[in-house]
Amino acid sequence: MKDLENKDYGLIRVAAVTPRVYLADPVRNTAEIIRLAEEAASKEASVVVFPELCTTGYTCADLFGQKQLLDAAEKAVADIAGAALPAGMLVAVGAPVRCAGRLYNCAVLIKGGKILGIVPKIYLPNHAEFYEARWFESGINVDKEIVYAGQTTRLSIKQLFSVGKAVVGVEICQDLWVPVPPCSYAALAGANVIINLSASNEALLKNDYRKQLVASTAARLNAVYVYCSCGYGESTTDLVWAGSSLISENGVLVAENERFGRESSAIYADVDVERLDTIRAKSPNFRDAGSRRADSYCTVAGGDAFPTDFGSKLLKKVDAHPFVPSGSELDARCKEILNIQVLGLCNRLEHIGCKKAVIGISGGLDSTLALLVSVLAFDKLGLDRKGVIGITMPGFGTSSRTKSNAEVLMEKLGITARQISIVPSVTQHLDDIEHALDNHDTTYENAQARERTQILMDVAGQEGGIVVGTGDLSELALGWCTYNGDHMSMYGVNASVPKTLVRALVAFAAREHFGGAQAVLEDILATPISPELLPAAADGSISQVTEDLVGPYELHDFFLYNIMRWGFTPEKVLFLAKKAFAGAYDEAVIAKWLKTFCKRFFSQQFKRSCMPDGPKVGSVSLSPRGDWRMPSDAFASIWL
C-alpha cells in the first residue's frame, strides 16, 4: 500500500492570532508577536495572520502623527522579519507605513526573513467611532517600490502571495464591509485564501453580523477567509475590543476563538485549497466574472508551505457521512428534501393530468421512501390516497419479514394494495429460455427484476397512471440495478438521494408525517438492505445482503461525494476515508471497496445515460441532462 501520509493533498494550515496589545509600545508588541509566531510554527501553520496595526495597537489616534511611533513600528517589522521563523510560514502583521509624505494602514507580508510585499487599506472609516482618515490615506491608488524596514519591497493593493498551493489575497478590516470588497477582485485573480487584518469593536449583535459576513464572503468567493481582530489592551475610552477571530472555508465556519479574553489567543484550521480550486473551475459564474474583471494582480512567489504533518495531526474534521448532517440541521435538511421530492412529483402528475401512481413495494428502504413521497404528494394535490397503488411482487427470495412489512405499511397509509406473485411467470420465462431454475446467476436475478418492472408498467397502463421509481443515487453510482428492470420508471423521486440519506428521510417522515405507521417504518429501517433475488434462508430470513456483495453504502456514499463533488483523486479519498472511518474500517478494506466503486462507476455509466426524470435534491446528481455528462466508454485505468 502506498504511503498516504506524507503528502499535503491540497491542505494547508492557517492561523488567526490575537496578541495582548501594549498600546503605543512596539517593542513589547514585537516580543509578543514573535512569541506567538513561534508558537504557530510549533503547530506547523503555513499562513499566520495578526490583527490590524498590531505592531503599535489600533487605537493610538493622534500618536500616529508622531515620528517616534512610526520609526518604532518600522523597527518592529524589521525585528519580526529578522526573527528565526520557519521559511515555510507566511506571517501577516499590521503596521503604519510611510511613503512619499503619506501614511498608510498596511498589512506587511513576511516569509523566510523577507518582506514579500505590503498591502495598504483601501476603505478608511470616517465616522464617530473611527476616524482613520484623520491619520491615514487610502491605498487605492498607490503602487510603487519602496524601502521599508531595511528591505526593498512593493506597496500596492494588487498583490497576491503564493504559499505552497495557497494563493493569499489581503484586505484590512473595513475593506470587507463595503458593497464590493477588494477580496472579490483578489479571488477572481486567483486568491483562494483571503486574510483580513482587522480591528473591530464589540457592540450588541455586531458579532453575529460579522460571522455572517465572513462566512457569506467565503461562500461567495469559494475561498478560505481568515479574519483576525485586535483584543485586550486596546484603548477602551469609548469602545471595547474583544479579539474576534474567525476562519471560514467556503461558507462553513471551521474555527472561532472565544472573545473577551485577557490573554493572547490563537485559532488554527486545516483547509483544503485544492477543493476550492475545483469548485471554481466547475463554476461558469466564477469563470465569467473573472473574465470580465478590469484589475490585474501580480502573484508574489512565496515558495513552499510549512511541511505540516497532516497524516497524524490533521485538524480538519473529515465527515464520514457527508450527505447526512448531525443535530438540528438533519431535520431541516430532511424537511427540505422531502418538499423537493413531493413538489417534483406533484408537478409531474398535474402536468400530465394523472391521478394514479403505481409503486413496487418491497418492504425495503427505497420503495418505502418513494411510497411516503407519493402519499405526501397525493395529500398535497388533494387526491385520494387510494390513487396510490402499491404492488407487492413476492419472488424466489422474498422474506416473510419484508413481505409483512410491505403489507402492513400499505394498510396503515390507506393506499390501494395489490399482490402479484412473480414466481409462476419467471419460472415460465426461465423455462422458455432454457435456463435452469437452480442456476442462481445474473440471468436468474435480472429475470425477476424485469418481470416486476413489466407488471408495474402494465398496471400503470391499465390504471392510467405512472410508475414512480424507487432506485436511489448510490445504486445509480454503482450501477446496482437491472437495466430496464428496477432501473426504469416514469419518474424517479429518489434519483439523487444517496442511500445513507434515504434512511434519515424515512426516519424523519415517520416522526413528522406518519406517526400511525411509525412501528412498521422503524422495523423497515432495521431491516438489512437486500434485493431479495436469491432464495431465502431455511428460516425464511434474508439470505442476500447487498453490502456483503458491493460493500458498505456509507463508504460508497463517502467515495461518491468526494470524487463527484470535489474531483478528488482516489488516493486523496483513501487518505480522507482513513481519517473519517478510523476504528471502523482499516485501510485495506477501504481500498478494496474504493476500487470496487471506481470499477463499477465507470463500467455502469450506460445505465445513467438513459435514466428517467427525477428531482435534484442536493449538490451531487448523476442525471445525464444536468450535473453529470460522461461517455459510457471511458476507461477507469488511471483511477485504479
Q: Is the pLDDT of residue 543 over 70?
A: no
CA distance 598 to 109: 43
Does the annotation mark 572 as catalytic?
Answer: no
Which cell numbers hold the place of 292?
A: 470580465
Cβ–Cβ under 8 Å, residues 113 and 88: no
Does the annotation mark 173 as catalytic?
Answer: yes
Specify whether 476 is located in the same domain as 399. Answer: yes
Specify whether 264 is located in the same domain as 408. Answer: no
The DSSP code for 110 is E
- Choose, from 44, 106, 111, 121, the residue flagged as catalytic: 121
Which cell numbers hold the place of 567?
A: 474531483
Q: What's the chain's average pLDDT?
A: 94
**Does residue 3 sit within a domain?**
no
Predicted local confidence at residue 626, as pLDDT? 87
**pLDDT tens readout for residues 12-64:** 999 999 999 999 999 999 999 999 999 999 999 999 999 999 999 999 999 99
Specify whether 208 is located in the same domain as 158. Answer: yes
Specify whether 52 is located in the same domain as 90. Answer: yes
Predicted local confidence at residue 378, as pLDDT? 98
As for how many domains the chain has, the answer is 2
- Choose, from 44, 52, 137, 554, the residue flagged as catalytic: 52
**Does residue 596 sit within a domain?**
yes
Which cell numbers hold the place of 426?
A: 419467471
Range of the domain at 363: 328-639
CA distance 401 to 541: 7
Ranges of beta strands (E only) in 72-212 are 90-99, 102-111, 114-120, 143-148, 151-156, 159-163, 166-172, 193-198
* C-alpha of 101 from chain center: 48
Specify whether 301 is located in the same domain as 408. Answer: no
**Does residue 6 sit within a domain?**
no
Specify whether 401 is located in the same domain as 288. Answer: no
Which residue type occupies 18? T
Q: Is the pLDDT of residue 533 over 80?
A: no
CA distance 263 to 21: 9
Closest CA to 342 of 325, 331, 357: 357
Predicted local confidence at residue 311, as pLDDT? 85
Phi, psi of 136 (to 5 degrees): -115, 160
Q: Is the pLDDT of residue 1 over 60?
A: no
Specify whether 241 is located in the same domain as 307. Answer: yes
Q: Report strand pairing: 245-249 vs 466-469.
A: unpaired
Rg over alpha carbons for the chain, rounded to the nearest Å, is 30
Give the 3-state secondary structure of 421-434: CCHHHHHHHHHHCC
- Choose, from 54, 60, 106, 173, the residue flagged as catalytic: 173
CA distance 616 to 408: 30
Cβ–Cβ under 8 Å, residues 397 and 541: no
**Does residue 321 sit within a domain?**
no
Does the annotation mark 336 as catalytic?
Answer: no
Specify whether 220 is located in the same domain as 149. Answer: yes
Q: Is the pLDDT of residue 2 over 60?
A: no
Residue 203 burial class via C-beta count within 10 angstroms: exposed 0-12, middle 13-18, buried 19 and up? exposed
Specify whether 152 is located in the same domain as 249. Answer: yes
Specify whether 287 is located in the same domain as 436. Answer: no
Q: Is the pLDDT of residue 133 over 80?
A: yes
**Does residue 574 sit within a domain?**
yes
> Can you give the CATH number for the domain in which 435 is found?
3.40.50.620
Predicted local confidence at residue 130, as pLDDT? 67
Which cell numbers hold the place of 621?
A: 446528481
**Does residue 600 sit within a domain?**
yes
Q: Is the pLDDT of residue 390 over 90?
A: yes
Specify whether 267 is located in the same domain as 357. Answer: no
**pLDDT tens readout for residues 472-515:** 999 999 999 999 999 999 999 999 999 999 999 999 999 999 99
Band of pLDDT at residue 312, cut at 50, 70 and 90: confident
Q: Is the pLDDT of residue 536 over 80?
A: no
Predicted local confidence at residue 98, as pLDDT? 97
> Can you give the CATH number for the domain in which 307 is found?
3.60.110.10
Closest CA to 557 of 472, 432, 445, 447: 472
- CA–CA distances in Å: residue 514 to residues 93, 339, 519: 58, 15, 10
State mean pLDDT over 555-584. 95
State mean pLDDT over 254-280. 95
State mean pLDDT over 346-360. 97
CA distance 252 to 250: 6
Specify whether 257 is located in the same domain as 360. Answer: no
Ranges of beta strands (E only) in 183-304 are 193-198, 224-229, 245-249, 252-256, 265-272, 298-301
**Does residue 552 sit within a domain?**
yes
Residue at grid coordinates 472555508: 249
Predicted local confidence at residue 131, as pLDDT? 79
State mean pLDDT over 515-541. 82
**Does residue 8 sit within a domain?**
no
Cβ–Cβ under 8 Å, residues 275 and 568: yes
The DSSP code for 181 is -
Helix (H) or strand (E) holding 468: strand 466-469
Helix (H) or strand (E) holding 470: none
Predicted local confidence at residue 541, as pLDDT? 64
Q: Nearest-5° angle of CA 169, CA 186, CA 154?
A: 60
Longest dimension (CA), the chain: 100
